[in-house]
Amino acid sequence: MDLSLIQKDILITLIALYHQKSSAIKGEDIADVLKRNAGTVRNQMQALKALELVDGVPGPKGGYTPTSQAYEILNLETYREESDVPIRRANEILRGINVAEIDFTTLCHPDLCRAVVKLIGSVKGFKIGDEISIGPTPVNRLFIRGKVYGKDERDQYLLITISELISLPKRDISHYMSSPAHTLQTEDTFLSGIHLFSTYRINGAPVMEDAHLAGIVTLFDIARGIDEGLSLDTPLKKVMTIAVETIAPHEDLYEVINRFSEHDIGRLVVVEDDLPIGILTHSDVLRVFPMF
């Protein structure tokens, strides 16, 4: 069965989006990824349905799903069991594209490291000179940054020059967090907080109300309160941050890096059974992994 180039692009983008979302994909989403007219995509979908390569899903949450034949015709039989390896351009994860293979073509050259990157999805949206990042990969937790210097639109390959090649630590965050978590109570005063921070040489702590996590307070919060005219007898609940970002101790370091970046924060409270057991700060990550 011979497919046209546009049919291959549409089908492989459908598979990549479906793999990422695990739900039916609308034609408009495929058109948006491929920068194609939505009517063109819908027309091609009818042809792909006739070839039994896609199924239509009715309803407001409907769309299209790939059939097993779609994987076979594109030689992607193993893709359904593979992990997602995201690719970013300008720090934005690209929808409908996943990294299937990375083949390093030069490693021994003292000044040059290059790789061929096989994509599930279309390479048409990439331009020569684009700065991209890939990863982490599922086994070795590799994270790659580089620049596109060529592409193969027929076989969906990117040719990249690598500027950074990093292997993230595989141990979970319980190995890197500060523990135990020194806590304060909501009715504790600024003075109590300053004393705790001075005693343990820390800059922030979870704030509890009875046995429940109620917030987090930092030395900066207290200093800001004092600057606003509050006394050292003021309870910490007046300046603490109520929306606390928490994380489980079994998560890996990459998840922490993502959370720091997405929420623009400098610390996470590590919780187990709804109780704080440790703190992980941006400084902790830098000590383990100075590239970030």
The pLDDT, as a whole number, for residue 81 is 62
pLDDT of residue 128: 94
**What predicted TM-score, i.e. pTM, was given to this entire model?**
0.56
pLDDT for the residue numbered 208: 96
Amino acid 3: pLDDT: 87
Residue ranges covered by each domain of the chain: 5-77, 82-167, 173-288
Q: What is the 3-state secondary structure (H, E, C) of the chain?
A: CCCCHHHHHHHHHHHHHHHHHCCCECHHHHHHHHCCCHHHHHHHHHHHHHCCCEEEECCCCCEEEECHHHHHHCCCHHHHHCCCCCEEECCEECCCCEEEEEEEEECCCCCCCEEEEEEECCCCCCCCCCEEEECCCCCCCEEEEEEEEEEECCCCEEEEEEEEEEECCCCEHHHCCECCCCCEECCCEHHHHHHHHHHHCCCEEEEEECCEEEEEEEHHHHHHHHHCCCCCCCEHHHCCECCCCEECCCCEHHHHHHHHHHHCCCEEEEEECCEEEEEEEHHHHHHHCCCC
- What residues of the chain score a pLDDT lower than 70? 1, 78-82, 289-292
Q: What is the pLDDT of residue 109?
A: 73
Quick one: CATH architecture of 5-77? Orthogonal Bundle (1.10)
Fold of 173-288: CBS-domain (3.10.580)
b/e per residue 141-152 (b: at least 16 CB within 10 A)? bbbbbbebeebe
pLDDT tens digits for 168-201? 777 888 888 989 999 999 999 999 999 999 999 9
CA atoms within 13 A on the CB side of 285: 22
pLDDT, residue 62, reads: 87
Report the pLDDT value the prediction gives residue 224, as an integer from 0 to 100. 96
Residue 227: what pLDDT?
95
